[in-house]
C-alpha cells in the first residue's frame, strides 16, 4: 500500500508518551519524517524516536518547552533547517487537570502558580507553536495543524478549572487560526480526546483519584476508554487530503461522551 505522507514532515509536541508517542509512530508509518519534542521527559522522547527508527521510519528528537517562545521559535527553525519544510504539526503537549501529581483543585483552593502553569503550557504553548508553525506554513502555502483540546472543554467538571479553561481556550484559538490560514492553504483543527488509556496523564489522574476511572467509564456510551491509536487515526485523517475542506473543526474522539 502506498504511504499517504511520503515526503512530508510532521512535528509532534509531547511525543515522549501517550497520545503524542503513538501519533508520532503512526505519522512515520504513513511515510512522514517526524520531529518528536518534549520538555522534561527526554528519555521518553528518545525512546519514541528509537521505536520509529526500528520500524524503518525517519525521526528526530528536539527538546523544547512549548511555553517558552524562544525555544518554540528555534524548534520550528530547526525542523525547517533539517527537512526543508513543515507540513503537519500536532500541538499535543499538555499537562493534566492536576498539573501531574497535584490533586484536582477547586477554584477557591487553586494556587495561582498551578493556574499559570496550566495556562502557560496548555494554551499559551499552543499559541506559540502555531505562531511559528503558521509563519512557515503560510510561506509554503501549505500546512495542516491539529491541536489537542479535551472533552473537558465541552463537559466541564468541578476541580478542573485551570485545565478546562486552557482546553476551552483552544477551541476559539483554533477557529481564529483556521480563519487566518484558510486563504493560504493552511488548515487548523482540534481533537477533543475522551479519557485515554496508556497515557501518563490518565495514569496520574486515576492513580491519585482511583474513583475517577469508574466515573469516567460510566460517562462513555461506547463502554470503553479511548486509546492513543483512536487519537492518532483521527489526526491522520484531519491531515490527509481526504479532509482538504475541513478547517476550524472541533472533533471529539470520545465514544459519544460529549453527545450525552
Ligand atoms: P502524557 O502525559 O502521556 O503526555 C503529555 C506529553 O506532553 C508528554 O510527552 C510530556 O513530556 C509533554 N509535555 C508536558 N509539558 C510540556 C512542555 N511544557 N513542553 C513540551 N512538552 C510538554 O498524556 P497524554 O494524554 O498523551 O497527553 C497528550 C494531550 O492529550 C494533552 O494535551 C492532554 O491534555 C490531552 N488529553 C488527554 C486525555 C487523556 O485522558 N489522557 C484526555 C483529554 C485530553
Q: Specify the pLDDT at position 209.
A: 72
| In the predicted structure, residue 16 carries a pLDDT above the cut 60 | yes
Q: Which domains, and CATH codes, for the chain?
A: 9-249 (3.40.50.720)
Once rounded to an integer, what is the mean pLDDT over residues 136-161?
Answer: 96
| In the predicted structure, residue 145 carries a pLDDT above the cut 60 | yes
Q: What is the 3-state secondary structure (H, E, C) of 75-121?
A: HHHHHHHHHCCCCEEEECCCCCCCCCCCCCECCCCCCHHHHHHHHHH
Q: Specify the pLDDT at position 104.
A: 79
Q: Specify the pLDDT at position 133.
A: 98
State in Å: Cα 125 to ligand 1 middle: 12
Over residues 68-114, the pLDDT tens digits come to 999 999 999 999 999 999 999 999 999 986 656 556 789 999 999 99
Of 83, 163, 184, 204, the active-site residue reads 163
Q: Specify the pLDDT at position 90.
A: 98
Over residues 185-222, the pLDDT tens digits come to 999 999 999 999 998 878 877 877 778 788 888 999 99
Q: Specify the pLDDT at position 202.
A: 81
- Asked whether the beta carbons of 130 and 145 are under 8 A apart, the reply is yes
State in Å: Cα 96 to ligand 1 middle: 7
Looking at the chain, the whole-number percentage of residues with pLDDT higher than 90 is 85
Closest residue CA from atom 33 of ligand 1: 94
Helix axes 228-239, 18-29, angle to 10 degrees: 50
What is the separation of C-alpha 37 from the centre of its chain, rounded to a whole number of angstroms?
11
Is 132 considered catalytic here? no
Mean pLDDT, rounded, of the chain: 94
Side-chain-side CA neighbours of residue 258 (13 Å): 17
Identify the burial level of 120 via C-beta atoms within 10 angstroms of its C-beta, where 0-12 means exposed, 13-18 middle and 19 or more buried. middle
Q: Specify the pLDDT at position 215.
A: 82
Query: Which three three-digit cell numbers place residue 118?
Result: 496550566
Phi and psi based region of residue 185 (left: phi greater than 0; alpha: psi -120 to 50; beta: remaining): left
DSSP 242: G
Q: How confident is the model at residue 2 (pLDDT cuts 50, 70, 90)?
A: low
- Residues with Cβ within 6 A of ligand 1? 13-20, 38-41, 64-67, 92-95, 121, 148, 150, 193, 195-196, 199-202
| In the predicted structure, residue 1 carries a pLDDT above the cut 60 | no
Side-chain-side CA neighbours of residue 222 (13 Å): 13
Once rounded to an integer, what is the mean pLDDT over residues 156-162?
Answer: 91
Amino acid at each position: 500500500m502506498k504511504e499517504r505522507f511520503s515526503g512530508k514532515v510532521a512535528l509532534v509536541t509531547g511525543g515522549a508518551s501517550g497520545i503524542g508517542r503513538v501519533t508520532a509512530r503512526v505519522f512515520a508509518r504513513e511515510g512522514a519524517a517526524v520531529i518528536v519534542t518534549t520538555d522534561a521527559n527526554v528519555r521518553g522522547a528518545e525512546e519514541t524516536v528509537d521505536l520509529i527508527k526500528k520500524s524503518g521510519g525517519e525521526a528526530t528528537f528536539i527538546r523544547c518547552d512549548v511555553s517558552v517562545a524562544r525555544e518554540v521559535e528555534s524548534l520550528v527553525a530547526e525542523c525547517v533547517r533539517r527537512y526543508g519544510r513543515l507540513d503537519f504539526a500536532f500541538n499535543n503537549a499538555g499537562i493534566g487537570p492536576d498539573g501531574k501529581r497535584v490533586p484536582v483543585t477547586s477554584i477557591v483552593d487553586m494556587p495561582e502558580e498551578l493556574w499559570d502553569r496550566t495556562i502557560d503550557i496548555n494554551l499559551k504553548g499552543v499559541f506559540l507553536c502555531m505562531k511559528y508553525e503558521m509563519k512557515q506554513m503560510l510561506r509554503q502555502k501549505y500546512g495542516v495543524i491539529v491541536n489537542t483540546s479535551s472533552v473537558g472543554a465541552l463537559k466541564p467538571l468541578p476541580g478542573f478549572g485551570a485545565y478546562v479553561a486552557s482546553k476551552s481556550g483552544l477551541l476559539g484559538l483554533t477557529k481564529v487560526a483556521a480563519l487566518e490560514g484558510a486563504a493560504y492553504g493552511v488548515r487548523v483543527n482540534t481533537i477533543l480526546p475522551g479519557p485515554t488509556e496508556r497515557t501518563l496523564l490518565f495514569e496520574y489522574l486515576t492513580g491519585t483519584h482511583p474513583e475517577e476511572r469508574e466515573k469516567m467509564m460510566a460517562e462513555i456510551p461506547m463502554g470503553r476508554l479511548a486509546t492513543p491509536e483512536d487519537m492518532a487515526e483521527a489526526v491522520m485523517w484531519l491531515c490527509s487530503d481526504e479532509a482538504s475542506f475541513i478547517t476550524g473543526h472541533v472533533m471529539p474522539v470520545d465514544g459519544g461522551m460529549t453527545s450525552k
